[in-house]
Chain A
Amino acid sequence: MKKLLTLVSAAFLLTACSGGGSQEAIDKYGSDTLKVFNWGEYIGEDVIENFEEEFGVTVIYENFLSNEEMYTKLQTGDSYDVLVPSDYMIERLIQEDMLQPLDLSLIPNIDNLAEGVKNLPYDPNNEYSVPYFWGSVGIVYNKNNVPLELLEEQGFAIMQKTDYKGRIYMYDSERDSFMIALKALGYSMNTSNEDEINEAYEWLVQINQTMEPAYVTDEVIDYMANGVKDLAIVYSGDAAYILSENEDMGYYCPEEGTNLWSDAMVIPANAENPKLAHEFINYILSYDASYANSNHVGYASSNQEVLDELSSGMYADNEAYIPRSGYEKDEVFVYNKDLTAKLSELWVKVKIAE
């Protein structure tokens, strides 16, 4: 619902903001409007306005709810100047020649990039993309009801412990669910080995059969902030918010590895205003904009200085804010078209298995 609201307000903004550009901007960039397509609830409060003021341009800012939705819109011919897709989707867009290479000389702030988001495998030299937010997927748990030792011992398999029957939230997405199953079984989350996938399928079916899980998406944020259940699979940034709202909650990433993901800014091949797009990317990487974004949204910043400051300041005791590094088994998603289709079909069946 919250996202729907954002969408509606974005539409209002769209109509309200037309015609604020300047001749200066047109001379410099060739145009005074920039079309940005980003996730809902993913930007600091005044970031867009400040950018508009500073550069004398108008930003048309639209939201999407999933990578797939964004991809479908691109395919129907909509043109944007800046997109913020996730790792595997960027890989797909690169493979399908839908992005244009970046001119890094126009993005000097790239030197601010945090250690953790440098040389990511989907785009090792930042040829096409510049990271925006990054994080992990882990377990939010109620510290009063779930001992940390048990979590450490069980890892993701705690989702199969019948002591917590009816007390768990699964994330209703095939990618994240198969990720935890494959990790719990000790496999790579990017496997295309049929046997391993079937084993993961059975692992998930067992949860459905014995644990009375609730399958939710964004609702989980409110539920866990209110302490409705004991265990939930949650994205780190949402977890950071939950932890800041409810001090009984903790965040844990199992030793057996998890998904390290990142969302990054890219310029589509059909962008009408690539010059201004570079300026925008550079602006987002600046200290002020990065700080406003990360502070407001709770996801880990791609700016090292901001990351250091927030993790020792506002998010000091919040184990969900900084994505961990140095775990060998943590992985990044790799795009595989056939696998995506297969997993999503299996996921439908997991949820109806008895």
Chain B
Amino acid sequence: MKQFAKMAIPYAIWAAVMIAIPMLMILLYAITESGNGVVTLKFTLDNFIYFLTDPALLRVLMTSFKIAIYTTILCILIGYPAAYFMSKLNEKYRTTVLLLITLPTWINMLVRTYAWMGMLQVDGLFAQILGMLGIGDVQLIGTEGAVIFVMVYNFLPFMILQIYTSLSKMDKSYLEAASDLGANKVQSFWRVTFPLSLPGVISGITLVFLPAASTFQISQLIGQGSVPMIGNLIESFFLKTGDWNKGSAISLIMAVIIMFSMYLAKKVDKDPSTRGRI
């Protein structure tokens, strides 16, 4: 076995260079002040204080999480039934439906977002359809609703696939046992199928919530700069103001909050009260 352990060395180096060192750099930037030379490092907590004491910046953080949570909830509400019916489908059709769902992801996300930008534009396709229906002049682009809509569109396949995988892995004999013991269809769904599919839902949440909370292109392109999210703040601190220290501090705060929410999600996943009903 010992010689196999050596095979992990390239991976360890890769992980160190691509993950650990950049994270440490972010940490270092976050707790130092910007000086001209790297030599004159001065440690400070000002970057965190700057962020945590500014109501406007905190509001952006709240907006980001609000948008990410709405996106995730919508993805579950749309994705779960979709995945459920897919898992009930005849084998023949499953692959086709699966293909249809993954098809959009073959195209770059940015390109798809640009397409939505055109359709949601003032005088764009959607505005024209709404106009024909007599709803009139509704501003779509540049609104929170539009940002959430495009995010749900972009991230929905990840949710569906995760839930679908866990549903189709499920042992059907549990359902037979449940009906033998007198459970009706609704009861057996809530007490057998749903708890068993939770791991899929949780990993779906991870895959949707993380990119939704930290996106900056969708909020820039669809929000037209008027739906600022935390990703846009980080971007402007790094690229526009050139203040890497504050940008790093914000990234770090964001990372901590996300890690904490992931920890909570995993905890729900492992909680015996949600598992033990089988």
Contacts and interface: CB of A to CB of B under 8 A. Distances in A.
A166 B225 contact: no
B119 interface: no
Nearest to A227: B123
B225 A344 contact: no
Interface in A142-191: 166, 170, 172, 174
B226 A212 contact: yes
Interface string B25-63: 000000000000000000000000000001011011000
Contacts of B142: 166, 212, 214
Given A229-B122, A349-B56, A352-B56, A216 B241 contact: no
Given A174-B240, A215-B224, A345-B243, A228 B139 contact: no
A75 to B, nearest CB: 11
A68 interface: yes
B215 interface: no
A214 B225 contact: yes
A17 interface: no
A5 interface: no
A1 interface: yes
A68 B224 CA distance: 23
A213 interface: yes
The binding surface of chain A is classed by DSSP as mixed
B242 A344 contact: yes
B224 A352 contact: no
Contact of B225 (A1, A215, A228): A215
A1 B110 CA distance: 10
Given A216-B225, A348-B241, A228 B56 contact: no
Given A228-B121, A349-B56, A352-B56, A213 B241 contact: no
B236 interface: yes
A341 interface: yes
A141 interface: no
B225 A352 contact: no
A216 B233 contact: no
A-B residue pairs, 3 tightest by C-beta: A215-B225, A214-B224, A344-B241
Given A214-B225, A345-B241, A347-B241, 8 more contacts: A68-B242, A213-B225, A214-B224, A341-B242, A347-B240, A348-B233, A348-B236, A349-B54
Interface of B: 54, 56-57, 59-60, 114, 121-123, 139, 141-142, 224-226, 228, 233, 236-237, 240-243
